[in-house]
Amino acid sequence: MITKKVVLIGDFATGKTSLIRRYVDNQFSDEYLTTIGVKISKKTLQISDEIELQLMVWDIEGHTDVKATNPAYVIGAHGVILVGDITREKSIENIPLHLELVKRLLKKVPIVIALNKSDLLPNEIEIEIEKKVLDLDASLPEVLKVFDTSAKSSKNVEAIFITLSQALLL
Amino acid sequence: MHIQEIFNAIYEKHYYEYIVLDKTLNCIEFSDKVIDYVDIQEASQMYRNIIKLIPELVGLEDELQEIAQGSREGIEIPLVHRKKAFVTISIQAGRKSRYDEIESIIVLFENVSQFVQMQQKSIQDRNDKELLLLELDKKNSSLEKYNKHMMHLVEAEIEKNSRLTNEIIVTQREVIATMGAIGETRSKETGDHVLRVGEYAKTLALMAGLSEQEAEELKMASPMHDIGKVGIEDAILNKPGKLTATEFEVMKEHALLGYEMLSGSKQKLLQTAATIAYEHHEKWDGTGYPRGLKGEDIHIYGRITAIVDVFDALGHDRVYKKAWPLESILDFIKKESGTHFDPSLVKLFLDNIHVFISIQEHYKSDKKYHKV
Ligand SMILES: Nc1nc2c(ncn2[C@@H]2O[C@H](COP(=O)(O)OP(=O)(O)OP(=O)(O)O)[C@@H](O)[C@H]2O)c(=O)[nH]1
Ligand SMILES: [Fe+2]
Ligand SMILES: [Mg+2]
C-alpha cells in the first residue's frame, strides 16, 4: 500500500473541513466549527487490482494571514489542495499567496485548487464561475487543475481528490 | 535536552507521554498511557517503524533521518487532534548529554487539550465575527450593485418619460397646427400662416419681456386663433370681394365660436388658445369685437396675436386680396398703433422688424414647415 500526505490550505471557513468530511464520510453540516491545529483523516483508494493508495488528508486550521500557517503542517506533503470560497473574492485572491508558501516549503508536488461553495451561486453566475476558474488556471502554471466544488452538493469533491491522487502516483 | 531530564519531566507532569526509537526509527520503549495517542494494534508489535504508529509522520521520512543523523534539531507538530484530545507531537534526538552521541530518538506527546479549550472559544468567536463582517460586506456590495441597477432603471424610466413628454408636446403642437390649418384650409389658405403667426408671436412676446415658457405657450396656442372659422358658412368665409355688413357680423362670430370650442378643455394650452381666439380681434381703443375690450384689459397674448396676424395676413395673398408690399404693411401697423394695436408692442415690433422679416424668409426657404 502506498501512503501519501495531502494538505488542504486556504483561508478560514472556506470549507476545507467540509470537503474532507464529504469525501471521507460523505457527510455535510451547515454549522461552522473552526478547526484548531490539525486533524488527519485517512482515505483508501483502490487504484487498480494491485495498487492501493492511502491518503493522509491534513485538515489544518485556516488563516487569512498566510504567514500564520504553520510550516510544520505543510512539510513532507506529497500533494496540496488549495481551497478558496468562490463567494469570497478575498479568499480567492489569497490562493496565490498560499501557493507561494507551498512552493517555498515543498519541492515540486501536484497542486489542485478547489473554489468551494459553488452551490451558493445562482445558476446565472455559472459563467462567472467558469471565468474565475479559467483565470486561476491561466495565472498559476504550477497548478494541475482548478475545480469549482461544493462540499454541500458534492460537486467535484471526488474529482479533486482523484485528480490529485492520479498525479501522486506518477 | 538530556534524556533523563525528559523522563523526569514525564514522571512529574503526567500529561507527557513518549515513545523511544532506535536510530532506524523503530519503537523500542513506550510510556504507559501513550496508547491514548497511537494505534494500539500497531503499538502492540515490537520494533514497529514509528511512521506506522503516527500517521502525521508520513512524508517526513527524510526529516526523521536528518534528526537521527544529527543534522536537524527536531520537529514539532503542534495541536494534533487525537480522540477528542489535542497533543503536540515533537520528535528529537536523545543523548546522554549534550556532548554525547545520539543514542535514540524520542517522540513526545504533550497533551494540550486544556490550552486548546481555553483558546477555542476566542478563535471561534474571532472567525465567526470576521465571517459575519465578510458577509455584511458582501451584502453591502450586492446592495450597492442593486442600487446601481435601480438607478439605471430609474434613469432609463426618466429618459423614456421625457422622450414621451417630448413626443406629447410635439404631437400636441402638430394637432394644434392642424387644427389651426383646418380653419385656414376651409378659407383656402395655407397652414403656414398659422405656424408663422406662432413663430412671430413668440418672438414678439420675448421682446415684450415675457418668459421663455410663456412665449412658448403663446407660440403653441396662437395658431388656433381662427379655429372658430370652421363654424362659418362657406359662402361668407370664402366669398371673393368685400363682405356686406351682415356677412361681416357673421364673420365676426368666429372669435366667440373659437373661444367656445377651446374653452371646454381643462388643458392649460387650450385655455390659452381660447383666450387668444376670443381676444385677437379686440382693439386697443375698445372698438374691436366681440366684447369691445380696451387697452390692457385685452390679454397680452391677444394683443400680440393681433399685430402678428395682421402682419402675416397682409403679406400674403388671400382670397379677397393680393399681398401688400412690406412698406404698406408697416405703414398700416404704424398708423393703427394706439387705435387698433398696443402702441408699446408696435414700437417693439417695428424696431425689430428685421427679426420678423428673417423669420418670414426662413419659412419661405424651409420646406419642412410646408408639410403641415
Ligand atoms: N453552502 C456551502 N457551505 C459550505 C460549503 N463548504 C463549507 N460550507 C460552510 O462553510 C462554513 C465553513 O466550513 P468549514 O469546512 O468549517 O471551513 P474550514 O475551511 O474548515 O474553516 P477553518 O477550519 O476555520 O479554516 C461552514 O458553515 C460550512 O457549513 C459548501 O460547499 N457549500
Ligand atoms: Fe381672426
Ligand atoms: Mg476546518
Which of B85, B111, B137 is a domain's end point? B111
Q: Measuring CA to CA, how many Å separate A96 from each of A9, A25, A66?
A: 11, 29, 10
Report the predicted TM-score, pTM, of the whole model to 2 decimal places: 0.61
Residue located via cell numbers 403641415: B372
The reply to whether B338 and B190 lie within a common domain is: yes
% chain B with pLDDT above 90: 37
B84 is catalytic: no
What pairing do the DSSP bridges indicate for beta strands A111-116 and A79-85? parallel
A-facing residues of B in 322-351 (CB < 8 A) are none
The reply to whether B102 and B220 lie within a common domain is: no
What's the rounded mean pLDDT across residues B306-310? Answer: 93
pLDDT computed for residue A82 by the predictor: 96
pLDDT computed for residue B114 by the predictor: 84
Verify whether ligand 1 is closer than 6 Å to residue A61 (CB atom): yes
The reply to whether B342 and B223 lie within a common domain is: yes
What's the rounded mean pLDDT across residues A121-135? Answer: 68
Q: Work out how many domains chain B is built from and give that number.
A: 2
The reply to whether B211 and B87 lie within a common domain is: no
The reply to whether B187 and B78 lie within a common domain is: no
pLDDT computed for residue B145 by the predictor: 73
Check whether A123 has a pLDDT greater than 80. Answer: no
List the CATH number of the domain containing B243: 1.10.3210.10
Q: Does A71 touch chain B (CB under 8 A)?
A: no
Distance from CA of B86 to the nearest CA of A (A): 8
Other Cβ atoms less than 10 A from the Cβ of B361: the count is 10
Q: Is B257 exposed, middle or buried (0-12, 13-18, 19+ CB in 10 A)?
A: buried
pLDDT computed for residue B188 by the predictor: 47
Q: Per the domain annotation, does B123 fall within a domain?
A: no
Report yes or no: B281 and B306 within 8 Å, Cβ to Cβ.
Answer: yes
pLDDT computed for residue B369 by the predictor: 39
Report yes or no: B47 and B26 within 8 Å, Cβ to Cβ.
Answer: yes
The reply to whether B346 and B274 lie within a common domain is: yes
Q: Report helix, strand or coil for A38.
A: strand
pLDDT computed for residue B177 by the predictor: 63
> Per the structure block, which three cell numbers stand in for B40?
494500539
User: pLDDT for B63-100, tens place per residue?
Assistant: 999 999 989 989 999 999 988 889 999 999 888 777 78
pLDDT computed for residue B200 by the predictor: 95
> Confidence band (pLDDT; 50, 70, 90) for B368?
very low
Q: Per the domain annotation, does B198 fall within a domain?
A: yes
CATH number of A2-168: 3.40.50.300
Phi, psi at residue B153, to the nearest 5°? -60, -45
The reply to whether B187 and B333 lie within a common domain is: yes
Report yes or no: A91 and A120 within 8 Å, Cβ to Cβ.
Answer: no
Other Cβ atoms less than 10 A from the Cβ of B206: the count is 18
Report yes or no: B300 and B344 within 8 Å, Cβ to Cβ.
Answer: no
Residue located via cell numbers 425689430: B352
Q: Does B264 touch chain A (CB under 8 A)?
A: no
The reply to whether B181 and B89 lie within a common domain is: no
Q: Per the domain annotation, does B141 fall within a domain?
A: no
User: pLDDT for A44-53, tens place per residue?
Assistant: 998 888 889 9
Q: Measuring CA to CA, how many Å separate B127 from each of A32, A67, A101, B204?
A: 10, 17, 22, 76
Mean pLDDT, all residues of chain A: 90
The reply to whether B250 and B338 lie within a common domain is: yes
User: pLDDT for B159-216, tens place per residue?
Assistant: 777 776 766 666 666 666 666 656 555 454 556 777 888 999 999 999 999 999 999 9
Check whether B122 has a pLDDT greater than 60. Answer: yes
Residues B258 and B226: their CA atoms lie apart, in Å, by: 7
Q: Per the domain annotation, does B302 fall within a domain?
A: yes
Q: Per the domain annotation, does B370 fall within a domain?
A: no
Instruction: Give the mutation candidate from B39, B57, B58, B65 for the A interface (greatest A CB count, under 10 A).
Output: B58
Q: Does A2 touch chain B (CB under 8 A)?
A: no
The reply to whether B195 and B307 lie within a common domain is: yes
The reply to whether B202 and B339 lie within a common domain is: yes
% chain B with pLDDT above 70: 84
What's the rounded mean pLDDT across residues B114-128? Answer: 86
Q: Per the domain annotation, does B183 fall within a domain?
A: yes
Write down the ipTM of this complex: 0.89
Report yes or no: A127 and A136 within 8 Å, Cβ to Cβ.
Answer: no
The reply to whether B195 and B274 lie within a common domain is: yes
Check whether B2 has a pLDDT greater than 60. Answer: no
Min mean pLDDT across B37-46, B115-124, B272-281 is at B37-46
Check whether B21 has a pLDDT greater than 70. Answer: yes
**Between A99 and B155, residue with greater pLDDT:** A99
- Any bridge partners for residue A154, and if so which? none
What's the rounded mean pLDDT across residues B113-123? Answer: 85
User: pLDDT for A2-46, tens place per residue?
Assistant: 999 999 999 999 999 999 999 999 999 999 999 999 999 999 998
Distance from CA of B372 to the nearest CA of A (A): 52
**Between B342 and B226, residue with greater pLDDT:** B342
Q: Per the domain annotation, does B165 fall within a domain?
A: no
Domain boundaries of chain A, sorted by first residue: 2-168
Closest C-alpha among B41, B30, B24 to residue B107: B30
What's the rounded mean pLDDT across residues B249-265? Answer: 87
Q: Which residues surround ligand 3, an ion (CB under 5 A)?
A: A 16-17, 35
pLDDT computed for residue A81 by the predictor: 98
Q: Measuring CA to CA, how many Å separate A150 from each of A18, A93, A117, A119, B97?
A: 9, 19, 5, 6, 54
Report yes or no: B308 and B197 within 8 Å, Cβ to Cβ.
Answer: yes
List the CATH number of the domain containing B21: 3.30.450.20
User: Contacts for B241-249 with beta carbons within 8 Å, 24 or more apart?
Assistant: B241/B320, B242/B320
A-facing residues of B in 290-329 (CB < 8 A) are none
Verify whether ligand 1 is closer than 6 Å to residue A14 (CB atom): yes
User: pLDDT for B313-360, tens place per residue?
Assistant: 888 776 556 778 898 899 999 999 999 999 999 999 999 999 999 988
pLDDT computed for residue A128 by the predictor: 67
Q: Per the domain annotation, does B371 fall within a domain?
A: no
Domain that holds residue B261: 174-362
Closest C-alpha among B194, B218, B350 to residue B341: B350
Q: B231-246 burial, b if ≥16 CB within 10 A, otherwise e?
A: bbeeebbeeeeeeeee
Verify whether ligand 1 is closer than 6 Å to residue A18 (CB atom): yes
